[in-house]
């Protein structure tokens, strides 16, 4: 997945969170703003081109000593 594409979609708010992502976010007290910031400032650390659910990648970011890992798919 293209990191520029991911950042563009994050800036435009053109993304969805899965039910699992919402659940994890709430359990770990992660805000939508923190997710967007991580997508915009983070970097791709792994690529999953053969993911059975479709191509995806792992984005990592650290903000205020709070590390976030986000799986992005198409």
* pLDDT tens for each residue of 5-63: 999 999 999 999 999 999 999 999 999 999 999 999 999 999 999 999 899 999 999 98
Q: According to the model, what pLDDT value does residue 19 have?
A: 95
Give the number of other Cβ atoms within 10 Å of residue 45's Cβ. Answer: 11
Closest of 42, 49, 50 to residue 70, by C-alpha? 42
By residue range, what is the domain housing residue 56? 3-73
The structural domain count of the chain equals 1
């Amino acid at each position: 997945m293209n990191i520029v594409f991911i950042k563009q979609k994050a800036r435009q708010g053109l993304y969805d969170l899965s039910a699992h992502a919402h659940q994890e976010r709430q359990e770990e007290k992660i805000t939508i703003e923190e997710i967007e910031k991580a997508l915009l400032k983070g970097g791709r650390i792994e690529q999953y081109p053969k993911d059975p659910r479709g191509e995806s990648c792992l984005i990592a970011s650290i903000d205020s000593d709070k590390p976030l890992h986000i799986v992005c798919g198409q």
